[in-house]
Amino acid sequence: MKLTEEYEDLRKTVEAFARDVVAPVIGELYEREEFPYDIVRQMGQMGLFGLPIPEEYGGMGGDYFALCLALEELARVDSSVSITVEAAVSLGAMPIYRFGTAEQRAEWLPKLTTGEMLGAFGLTEPGGGSDVPGGMRTTAVLDGNEWVINGSKAFITNSGTDITGVVGVAAITGRRADGRPEISTILVPAGTPGFTVAKKYSKVGWNCSDTRELSFTDCRVPAENLLGERGRGYAQFLQTLDEGRVAIAALSVGLAQGCVDECLRYVRDRQAFGHPIGHYQAIQFKIADMEVRTHTARLAYYHAAEKMLAGEPFKKEAAIAKLVSSNAAMDNARDATQIFGGYGFMNEYPVGRFYRDAKILEIGEGTSEVQRMLIARQLGLGDL
């Protein structure tokens, strides 16, 4: 993937925004575990929530790689802000754009693309996120002209903010002839009676991102809230997650790069044994390794994005990109914290936040084990 002038302009704009607007305030918001409404409002004005969506729906008419570039630059400074955009676009708006009817697109996209409203995607349940069909208990039954939804969802990003507008809920809507569950996605507007949003989780990281458990008790929505075709929910989320993995890979690369950025500054200033610590080869090698991981992970996600945009199969490349970049983020966060010594453990410096934020990258939108399963399947090992 080449960084054309247009992509580079976008990258620089988001880089400047992250540096000038996000960096000065995010540490305190993170400490207070506050959702960054003002930052979200400004990102909405910049068009970040509509990057890959056509202008007729209020989007920027760009592509998914543009979204990835923005996510990377945001995560160089803060991952909560980046995941808020990632989940809103990739999990909230894109399924409506890809699979929605003309009416659903017209109703939701203009508000989602401007960031006036956030969308969410409820797939994971308390009983399991890796084996989605096996762990799913949420049901939706058609009663006349309405779906009646019962069940619960776990760990849903952007689902309980003041500006959350709609959640795509994956639910069992019947049984197939072979006995497997028929899964469909149903759009549930925030505030629908019977749809309850629990208080936000207390998390290890991503403290400014909104993550909630959702429950549905005889929650009724119109039949036309079905997203796309009945029974296509599983296929929809497989496609959504393939794309989402490239986005999470970009976010991970941003975090890995942020660790390099912070260390390059710190090792010039911090003195030990008569020299800046960057004088010592042990520190130089650590930073060289961090740079190698970041660079190779970036190439992996650029490659996956290139195949995606060319309309070629990219499942394996997306899984590889997600696996290597989340590893890179985790390893870089650990090394950066070590290089910062005691200050690495203090919230005053961003590397401590990077350390706390890195772990989830090996879990969300498919764990590292799931990525390996996908890669092995693509190598033909799935049916052995």
Ligand X SMILES: Cc1cc2nc3c(=O)[nH]c(=O)nc-3n(C[C@H](O)[C@H](O)[C@H](O)COP(=O)(O)OP(=O)(O)OC[C@H]3O[C@@H](n4cnc5c(N)ncnc54)[C@H](O)[C@@H]3O)c2cc1C
* Closer residue to ligand X, CB minimum distance, 165 or 366: 366
Minimum CB separation of residue 237 from ligand X in Å reads 8
Q: How far is the CB of 360 from ligand X (least distance, A)?
A: 5
CA distance 159 to 66: 24
Instruction: Give yes or no: 365 in active site.
Output: yes
Cα 230 to Cα 102: distance, rounded to the nearest angstrom? 16
Site stretch for ligand X (CB under 6 A), options 119-127, 227-235, 271-279, 339-347: 119-127
Out of 79, 82, 90, 124, name the contact with ligand X by CB under 6 A: 124
211 lies in the site for ligand X, by CB under 6 A? yes
Identify the residue among 52, 100, 129, 350 touching ligand X (CB under 6 A). 129
Number of residues binding to ligand X, judged by CB under 6 A: 24
37 residue type, one letter:
Y
Cα separations (Å) of 210 from 23, 119, 283, 300?
A: 19, 12, 36, 29
**Shortest Cβ 367–ligand X spacing (Å):** 3
239 scored as a contact of ligand X (CB under 6 A): no
* Complex with ligand X: residue 185 or 294, whichever CB lies closer: 185
Residue owning tokens 């998914």: 64
147 binds ligand X (CB under 6 A): no
Kindly list the residues in this chain that would bind ligand X in the complex (CB under 6 A).
Answer: 87, 91, 120-124, 128-130, 155-157, 203, 206, 211, 360, 363-367, 369-370
Active site (catalytic) residues: 365
